[in-house]
Chains A and B, each alone.
Chain A
């Protein structure tokens, strides 16, 4: 019996660790992913005025604060039963789409993309954003920095700060957009659309024209037949800000469609003694352990899941990209985890087109930005699609709007069981008869990086630089083998 510990000691010290147990034949018996991270926001929110939640839950994650800000805003609308003004909804969605585009681009170029653009077998030292720039050209590198800076400029205009925005109110937003600001946002939207077209062309050139990559994307190591969940609009098109939650089964057939307010009829969380993270599953299928298939309630969220549950994209260029993805990958649903990267670029293009649409809407500069609540608050539930998947907030208050109970279903939690399964599957496919090949480091990283997991942004390390270490112990607990990236 041997135990292998993959301990990424950066942020992941205290934030993520993989333990692999081998059986007597030296094959993988079990693999565990642990995220030793808990801050207890659900508890310490009690006693706070509900309207402060958009400014408290942002601190759950400094990489996706805008997602919590917006989920919280929508929960406040529902809590006070107040409909935001038409302009306020557009301002919120505009801000939210700018955020989605920026976050997806950051992930593709800094985190996930290097595996493809530079190559999974490339030396670790090159498998990072600098390697992407070297391959795509310096001009491209400049564009990556520029598009991120500009999109964050939109967040600054609307929300005050890109990290920890502050503009949400029940029934609307606190600040209107001026004509001058609108001009800047339109410029940014145009720039972002062009950038995303360039990014998809790069993906085409580098990944899709290379058989090895296509085999990797379509191969079995990273494949799981699961249910999928995501928000769709009234035409079943992908929507980040609003709509109904739709679930499809592993065959792509609609399994459920419900409002956020009905989430308790559909979502449950499973607790394991070895994990601070809870594991979501579909209540009406049930928890059957860390397994895939029709009989297991495990479902997936985030870009690929959103595309799988929808009938398309609501903007023209993104729709073309959507159709092409499914054509190449052989129809819906796509179960290959690495296709999350492609789906992420399709979504970035949609988000950019939507920024532009909303910025050009004459109503976007309206000063009618908030409806004051008049109802007595009691309970509110709100949902958005965070970059990393479905994000739900649920508040109960006294009649002054002081929080008595809070529940949060955070995006990555929905994907926690699948991430665990992907890691175990990759470990089982790669480790045989006690042989731990060098390449396992990156191959296992790729299994969870595709999800862009945000375990307190645990894996927001630049790929290729992430200091994974593997320790192999014999049955007496003595260290017999040590592997470190790059050595």
Chain B
């Protein structure tokens, strides 16, 4: 029997999703043995026409990482969708928009203004910015268009499954590959990670009080963080209550709070809104009568709600982006 064909592609991403695949170590060789990799730009020769020449649906599964910000990325993922039985959004950027999705707070013009004109190291008296086409006396050269808005993969093509995380951990990748090889997949649209929230699997769960109340929000540098205690109990914002588990609690084990890269648990559309409401519900609840001034002071401790609760998920959220002027 022919081995199933697999493609692995990257859009606007940082290469971390490729590193995590290499972190499969010996398992990578097992995967390479069980499937026929038809596309993996980091490691294999890639000819677009080879993909074009495949019949529709011939690739068993395409793993696609990175958000979509350039026209050519959009074309490539549409081609892969057409040729693939399954498409898996791989990693936080394809799944939710990821950190580059914070760019949706701005526009191309404001980004260009800062990067090419304003920063103190730039010497640019003529106010030059990159152009899609530059004409010289001997010819012209071009740059692809930089879009205003960062999009998730499922805002560009239909997606069958999601592998969450920044980056997805090797064990979840192996589980997904094995499930695909054995044909033991959950319902379409599923996130291939546990359904529980991070709080449910947190190593600090045992010592956590039944009811948490935050009297004052603390930032991670303001206190010496007790490596045993629940971050929320310490007053430090942690997205554990509204974030899917499966990451191996790596950040918690390094004594840092969760920032939500695994996205929301099942049934939650907007991780940021859910996070904000979860935190709001435990702010100062011990105080029966709390003055408006005290409420304001408490909420002032939340210094960057948008960038905190939507750290990884702005493009996939109901907000999606800042309104264009």
Residues of A at under 8 Å CB distance from B?
1, 3, 9-11, 13-14, 19, 21, 23, 29-30, 32, 34, 36, 38-40, 42-44, 47-49, 51-52, 55-56, 59-63, 65, 76, 80, 145, 149, 152, 156, 158-167, 169-171, 174-175, 263-264, 267-276, 278, 280, 283, 287, 370, 372-373, 394, 400-402, 407, 409, 456-457, 460-462, 465-467, 485-486
Residues on the B chain within 8 Å of A274, using CB = 130-131, 134, 141, 143
| Chain B interface, number of residues (Cβ within 8 angstroms) | 78
Evaluate contact between B16 and A19: CB separation under 8 angstroms: no
Q: Does the CB pair A160–B72 fall under 8 Å?
A: no
| A-B CB proximity, top 5 nearest | A62-B16, A160-B254, A10-B41, A457-B15, A40-B111
B99 at the interface (CB under 8 A from A): yes
Cβ B167 vs Cβ A163 within 8 A: yes
Taking a contact as CB atoms closer than 8 A, the residue among B41, B119, B308 that contacts A269 in the complex is B119
A276 touches B121 (CB 8 A): no
B146 CB–A CB distance under 8 Å: yes
Within B61-77, the residues touching A (CB, 8 Å) are 69-70, 72-73, 76
Residues of A within 8 A of B121 (CB): 263-264, 267-269, 280, 407, 409
A40's contact among B18, B23, B115, by CB below 8 Å, is which? B115
B14/A60 in contact, CB under 8 A: yes
The residues of B that contact A394 with a CB separation of less than 8 Å are 120
**28 A-B pairs whose Cβ atoms sit less than 8 Å apart in the complex:** A14-B12, A14-B144, A21-B136, A34-B143, A36-B143, A39-B12, A43-B103, A47-B304, A48-B102, A48-B304, A48-B307, A61-B16, A80-B221, A145-B26, A158-B254, A159-B254, A163-B19, A163-B20, A164-B16, A175-B227, A269-B119, A271-B122, A272-B130, A275-B143, A372-B223, A401-B303, A456-B15, A465-B44
Chain A at the B interface: mostly helix, strand, loop or mixed?
Answer: loop
Is A164 within 8 A of B136, CB to CB? Answer: no
User: A36 and B144 in contact (CB under 8 A), knowing A55-B259, A62-B18?
Assistant: yes
Give the residue name and chain of the B residue nearest to A464 (CB): B45
CB of B155, distance to nearest CB on chain A (Å): 18
Whether A167 contacts B26 in the complex (CB less than 8 A), given A38-B146, A62-B17, A276-B130, comes out as: no
**Chain B residues whose CB sits within 8 angstroms of the CB of A63 once the complex forms:** 14-16, 19
Interface string of B283-325 (1 = CB under 8 A from A): 0000000000000000000011011100000000000000000
Given known contacts A10-B46, A36-B144, A40-B111, is B25 in contact with A461 (CB within 8 Å)? no
Q: With A21-B138, A29-B138, A465-B43 in contact, is A269–B122 under 8 Å at CB? A: yes
Find out whether the CB atom of B254 lies under 8 angstroms from the CB atom of A166.
yes
Given A62-B13, A65-B16, A163-B167, A19 and B70 contact (CB-CB distance below 8 Å): no
